Amino acid sequence: MSQEMSESEKQMAARLQSIFTNKVVQQKMVESIVHNKPLGWSRKSQATYYKERYALELKKVLDGMIANNKEFCFGYSWFESTFGLGKDSLYLRVYQSMRFLLEKLDPDGTYRKFWNEKIEMHRERGKGVTLRFKKEFQTGGPVFEPTEVIPESEEPKWKQKMNVWLESDDMTPFSQNSIILSPEEIASLEIQLSALGDRILSSITAHSIKLVKVNN
């Protein structure tokens, strides 16, 4: 990723510097914008899942927990079979999506308060990454078993697989045929891929997508 800031990033950095007078805090806030990593993380740290779409997925889960008082499990077997994610990768996905949600999409602190005060995240053998209520919020009732409901993505399967491929270290070319893309969908894909710069070579038509990673 380039170390240079865009104009919008420079404007945001200047605004943050006018708000926060402490130099250390300023630097951490600027780095979170330029490098898109959780606050306090170094530039070399990997934050594959520190992205808005994963944070919005987690937001739906937390909304359900708040509304229905039901615990939740990101099941190992489902994420392994669907995305090829191992146990450690799934934990990182949930943790980093939580950091993005609390740091960038929680202006009034609703989710931070709920996460810090009422629930705990666990890795449970044979199950998955669970979000459980703290014991004091289970008083007077049975110990809840987490509901293993995986949030359904609105994206088609091929696009989910493409996004996983884009975020992985897999250098095997990606190819998807027998699809139907509108001009708007093609344009949207081209914009998404253009954000990756010269790392990806692409050929997109109304019926196929072919992508190759460039090892710079």
Which residue is listed with tokens 């250390």?
24
- Domain end residue (candidates: 137, 169, 190): 137
Q: Verify that 28 and 71 share a domain, yes or no.
A: no
Mean residue pLDDT across the chain: 76
Quote the domain boundaries for residue 19: 7-45
SS3 162: helix
Domain-located, residue 94 = yes
pLDDT at 143: 44
Averaged pLDDT for residues 183-195: 76
Q: Is residue 120 part of a domain?
A: yes
Residues 76 and 125 in one domain: yes
Domain edge (last residue) among 137, 167, 183 = 137
Number of H helices, E strands in the chain: 8, 6
Is 123 in the same domain as 177?
no
pLDDT at 183: 82
Residue with tokens 């934050």: 47
Residues 6+ apart with CB under 8 A from 194: none
Residue 150 lies inside a defined structural domain of this protein: no
Q: Nearest-CA neighbor of 73 among 150, 165, 178?
A: 150
Give 124's strand partners.
128
**Whether residue 119 sits in one domain with residue 63:** yes
Q: Are residues 133 and 56 in the same domain?
A: yes
Residue 99 lies in a domain: yes
As to burial, measured by CB atoms within 10 angstroms (0-12 exposed, 13-18 middle, 19+ buried), residue 47 is middle
Note the pLDDT of residue 110.
94
Q: Does one domain contain both 26 and 93?
A: no
Q: Are residues 88 and 120 in the same domain?
A: yes
For residue 84, being part of any structural domain is answered with yes
Among 16-30, 98-112, 141-155, 196-210, the minimum mean pLDDT is found in 141-155
pLDDT, tens only, 60-97: 889 888 888 888 888 888 778 777 778 888 898 899 89
Same domain, yes or no, for 71 and 118? yes
Asked whether residue 205 carries a pLDDT value surpassing 70, the answer given is yes
Say how far residue 44 (Cα) sits from the centre of its chain: 18
Whether 100 has a pLDDT exceeding 60, the answer reads: yes
Say what percent of the chain tops pLDDT 90. Answer: 18
Distance, in Å, from the CA atom of 141 to the CA atom of 139, rounded to the nearest integer, reads: 6
Average of pLDDT values for 192-208? 81
State the total domains in the chain.
3
Query: 68 and 85: one domain?
Result: yes
Same domain for 60 and 133? yes
Residue 172 in any domain: the answer is yes
Rounded to whole angstroms, the Cα distance separating 148 from 134 reads 18
Q: Within this chain, do residues 85 and 125 fall inside the same structural domain, yes or no?
A: yes
Do 168 and 195 belong together in one domain?
A: yes
Read off φ and ψ for residue 123, nearest 5 degrees. -100, 115
Confirm if 102 and 112 have CB atoms less than 8 A apart. Answer: yes
